[in-house]
């Protein structure tokens, strides 16, 4: 008396569950890889803009413009404004430049820090919410005095 009870589809269903589970695992790994790649791309873009902004401010100071008139802020799209322009226009600063100029004898030492203000949290001269330094650039310039 050989009687089979059931249709024999149990092993097939188990195999399908394993295959579906494998595809779900692969899909979740792919999504996490793409999300990490997107974050790394955004961080690299932000660093690149910060480097260019710091270089630009440093070169303008070396060319003779004062650090007060070069106080820079950027919006989320990295459009550059002076702090006064941003405050007048009501533009929220997402990034800003901290500029330090020190004169030691005939050398001028320049430091520019590009700081993340939390993507539009800070406004104008409100420096309390700007914390994370994205990039720092230090530079020196020799300025001979007239008597030498």
pLDDT tens for 91-102 read: 888 999 999 888
d(CA 41, CA 102): 35
Whether this prediction's pTM lies above 0.85 is answered by no
β 95-104/132-142 pair status: unpaired
At 131 the pLDDT is 77
pLDDT tens for 23-73 read: 999 999 999 999 999 999 999 999 999 999 999 999 988 888 766 667 889
């Amino acid at each position: 008396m050989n009687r089979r009870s059931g249709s024999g589809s149990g092993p097939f269903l188990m195999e399908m569950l394993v295959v579906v589970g494998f595809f779900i695992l692969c899909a979740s790994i792919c999504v996490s890889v793409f999300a990490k790649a997107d974050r790394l791309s955004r961080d690299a873009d932000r660093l690149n803009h910060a480097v260019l902004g710091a270089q630009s401010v440093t070169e303008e100071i070396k060319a003779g413009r004062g650090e007060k008139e070069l106080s820079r802020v950027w919006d989320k799209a990295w459009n550059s404004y002076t702090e006064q322009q941003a405050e007048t226009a009501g533009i929220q600063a997402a990034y800003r430049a901290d500029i330090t100029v020190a004169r030691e004898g005939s050398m001028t030492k320049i430091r520019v820090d590009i700081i993340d203000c939390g993507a539009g949290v800070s406004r104008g001269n409100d420096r309390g919410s700007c914390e994370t330094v994205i990039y720092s650039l230090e530079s020196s310039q020799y300025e001979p005095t007239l008597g030498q």
